[in-house]
Amino acid sequence: MVKLSKICRREWIGKVKKQIVTLAAAAMLSSGFAAKASADTHVVKKGDTLYQLAIKYKTTVTELKSINKLSSDSLYINQSLQVPGTANSVPSVKPPSPAIPSAANTYIVKSGDSLSKIALNHKISLKDLMSWNQLTHHIIHPGQVLKVSKTASGNNDKEPSAPAPPPATAPSGSSGNYTVVKGDTLSLIASRNNITVQQVKEWNKLSSDLILIGQKLIISAAGLKPSTEKPTEEVKEENSSVSTVLAEAQKYIGVPYKWAGTAPDGFDCSGFIYYVLNKTGSSLGRYSTDGYYSRSYYISQPQPGDLVFFENTYRQGISHMGFYLGNNQFIHASSNGVEITSLENSYYKKHFDGFKRFY
């Protein structure tokens, strides 16, 4: 009986050991499966955005939206997303994709960005930024990758060049005509043809900057390429007008800030613009910052006397403005009163929207 009991005990111990080994193997397999799953998916947490996840998983917003068949940038908590790999692991081998320009030469658009703001922050012109990215409009979206250097190219043998102007459908022998296509603006057409917006408007008897697709425009005087400079008399008149406006504006440096103020006892930013313009002969009405914003158009090469706008200062949206003085400075009615400030000022650089000019 004693000998039989020892045999039973050994068999029981053997069975227990076998069960322990089996459970350990199952745990290892389960752990391996979980690791693989985590490398392919991400569960959305509060505060996650596609832009943040693209950076974390070393991919792009466009790729994340594509592999997850997303039609918008909206995410919801506990949503499972397919991702190329974990942030700390080596991505799985994928088919070769187009070379991505180095981060130093590119910029990923964030919510609230505008082309003018990006150009200013990278010390480049709006014209170059649009040319390097082959843009014909000012519309950009979060997650979009923009080249912010001429050398930002996936192929060093090819440099991005400015988009060629759409072929004009002018009659044979008439090189001074152009037919408007989708995406055109007077500023773009003038820039491509080395002329001014004012010349295009004069030659075509336009009273505003509104143009229509299919509309035919005269883009040279008498069929000849016009001079890139305005006649001396016109330049003199324009410079005189600008000088008068800016000289008037500088008379009020130090005048205190006053909400809705439109007189020398106190100005707010739009009231300052209104007072100076009317004091120098303009008949423009009294509008808010948004009102002046909607009555002006973006420009890529600002001149003294143009407007400079800022967003999301004391409220969301376009909320502050001033006159551009040149040399990266502007004059405005701030909370400190009327003063001259540099666009390199960290606060205003952060809230910069762009340069505009009245229609």
Residue 193: what residue type?
Answer: N
The structure tokens 């390429």 sit at: 225
Is residue 344 a contact partner of residue 328, using CB atoms and an 8 Å limit? yes
Residues 62 and 143 sit within 8 Å (Cβ to Cβ): yes
**Which residue do the tokens 């919801």 mark?**
76
Query: Residue type at 168?
Result: A
Indicate if 141 belongs to the active site.
no
Residues 6+ apart with CB under 8 A from 283: none
Mode of pairing for the β-strands spanning 337-342 and 329-334: antiparallel
Please give the single-letter amino acid code of residue 46: K
Among 86, 136, 74, 147, smallest CA distance to 111 is for 74
Q: Are 80 and 48 in contact (CB under 8 A)?
A: no
> Out of 42, 122, 138, 269, which one is annotated catalytic?
269
Q: How far apart are CA 139 and CA 134, in angstroms?
A: 12
> Rounded CA gap, 75 and 44, in Å?
7
Rounded to whole angstroms, the Cα distance separating 310 from 324 reads 12
Note the residue count of the chain: 359
| Marked catalytic residue, from 8, 122, 141, 332 | 332
Provide the residue type at 78 as one letter.
N
**From the candidates 8, 137, 320, 351, which is the catalytic residue?**
320
- Distance in angstroms (rounded) separating the CA atoms of residues 200 and 196: 7
Q: Answer whether 166's CB lies under 8 Å from 193's CB.
A: no
Is residue 269 annotated as a catalytic residue, yes or no? yes
Report the sign of the C-alpha dihedral through residues 344, 347, 348, 349, in that order: positive
Whether 320 sits among the annotated catalytic residues: the reply is: yes
Active site residues per annotation:
269, 320, 332
